[in-house]
Amino acid sequence: MKIHIHKQSTIPFYLQISNQIAQRIHSGLLLENEQLPSLRILADELSISVLTIRKAYKWLEKNGLVWVKPGKGVFVLKKTNRLQEKKDHSNWQQTLGINVVRSQYLMNKESVTYNFSKAVVYPRLLPNKFLAEETQKLLKEDASILTTYGSVQGDEELRIEISKHLLEFQKIRSNHENIIITSGVQQGIDLVAQAVLKPGDSVIVESPCYGGALDIFINKDIHIIPIEMDDEGIRSDLIEEVFHRFKPKLLYVNPSFQNPTGISMSSDRRKELVELAERYNFFILEDDSFGDIYFEQSIRQHPIKYYDRDHHVIYIKGFSKTLAPGVRIAAMLANGPIFDWLFAVKASMDVGSPLLTQKAILPFLRTDRMRNHVEKLRIALQLRRDTSVDILSNETNRLQFQIPNGGFNLWLSINEPAIDIFDLLKKANEKDISFLPGVACYNNKTNEPSFRISYSLVSEDELSIGLVELCKIINQF
């Protein structure tokens, strides 16, 4: 078993070990009744004490993941989906077998002043006035645009401009005929899941992972295989291990300033993933929602799609987050037979994304406005990141985090594993503060007291006030 101990982490060794074993149990890498290494063998492999391994195994036993046979060893119990709520059959709706198991968005439904739960840009940082003027101009010139269906594939003019944009900014050569316009990245992920996967199929995801993608896979009854990350992104060495037991059809990754951790995958790791996809014949679904938001010290990486020579990578580029969330525009680039499958699913889903919003962003892509806007947005978000880091570092000593070089998010861990993150969220909500509990980013229960804050949605004043108050809550908790 390949277990990594991060000796600089404040998370106790036994919890690091138990979390990694738990992930393997939930993903199916460790099968029912499979025996775990003995205390002595695992302690020798990791160069730590037998007592630490015993404590890790005790935690696994307490949480119903393993059972101990005296004199024989420790064995894996039957895998269960620990996030799925028990159905209340006294409720007639539950008896209909509704198959929506979970949604990360149910965790923060109420409106709060200090909203750190959503990875969305503060509205005043976006080109609202320009987009409003362009929309009005479009309607004045041709009101019939409201009564016209857009094409299933998306407006051709927009696809041509996006193809040019991908070449200039992502260095990806593409033909506009291989691009499908979707209503945001979320719809793109859903399209791929419907086109490629059927219930029971396996998909590999990063762990932790973007909760919206997990919601899609879980609710479609897809077998999710979470693979942990290191400083270079998802661990490619564990992907090969997966293929000894499963044949995943898809790997979903968010490689640039990953949501939720902020980790940016190294170029070597990106190349390795393409090599693995070619060797084992699976698709890589690359979610590029944050790649444009890199800060000054960041080395900008080519997308995984840049290295794709045999059509294994389906690339989704989001424009909603950096331009206008209300527009809901993303572009999906796919080559080979998969394109026709995606086109067919898109046609059955909505017959095409709204034409008005597609036309509205054309002037942005055709001029330097997009470049200038994104440059200003990077500066503004870097200032917010720096403010967040300063406050969280100075106002409490109970948090651990890495400083991201781009994106919208900070991934935080509390140094005390006994803390219940939902109790903390309840206390925060009482002070008009929200954040995203880390459990939303795992497909199974985790004992890590982790959570994500997004520094992008609130004003600078609200950011400072809200984070100082959150630190007070954490200190008093």
Structure tokens at 371: 């470049």
**Considering 325, 344, 368, which residue would you say is the last residue of a domain?**
368
Query: Contact, 448 vs 438, CB < 8 A?
Result: yes
End-to-end CA distance of the chain: 36
Residue 190 confidence (pLDDT)? 96
Tell me the pLDDT of the chain (477 aa) as tens digits. 778 787 766 677 888 888 888 877 876 778 888 888 888 888 888 888 989 988 888 888 887 888 888 888 898 986 544 444 444 555 666 555 555 556 676 777 778 999 999 999 999 999 888 888 888 888 888 888 887 788 999 999 999 999 999 999 999 999 999 999 999 999 999 999 999 999 889 999 999 999 999 999 988 889 999 999 999 999 998 888 888 788 999 999 999 999 999 999 999 999 999 999 999 999 999 999 999 999 987 778 899 999 999 999 999 999 988 887 778 899 999 999 999 999 999 999 888 888 888 988 888 888 888 889 999 999 999 999 999 999 999 999 999 999 999 999 999 999 876 788 989 999 999 999 999 999 999 987 676 789 999 999 999 999 999 999 999 999 998
Is the domain of 121 the same as that of 66? no
Give the structural domain span for 59.
13-76
Task: Say if 214 falls within a structural domain.
Answer: yes
**Considering 336, 368, 400, which residue would you say is the last residue of a domain?**
368
Task: Say if 466 falls within a structural domain.
Answer: yes
Residue 448 confidence (pLDDT)? 76
Q: How many domains does the chain have?
A: 3
State pTM to two decimals.
0.83
Is the domain of 170 the same as that of 272? yes
Residue 83 confidence (pLDDT)? 41
CATH number of the domain that residue 387 is part of = 3.90.1150.10
Is the domain of 115 the same as that of 132? no
Residue 16 confidence (pLDDT)? 81
Strands 223-230 and 202-207: parallel
Task: Say if 61 falls within a structural domain.
Answer: yes
Is the domain of 162 the same as that of 267? yes
From CA 459, how far away is CA 185, in angstroms rounded?
25
CATH number of the domain that residue 338 is part of = 3.40.640.10
What are the φ/ψ torsions at residue 286 (nearest 5 degrees)? Answer: -100, 115
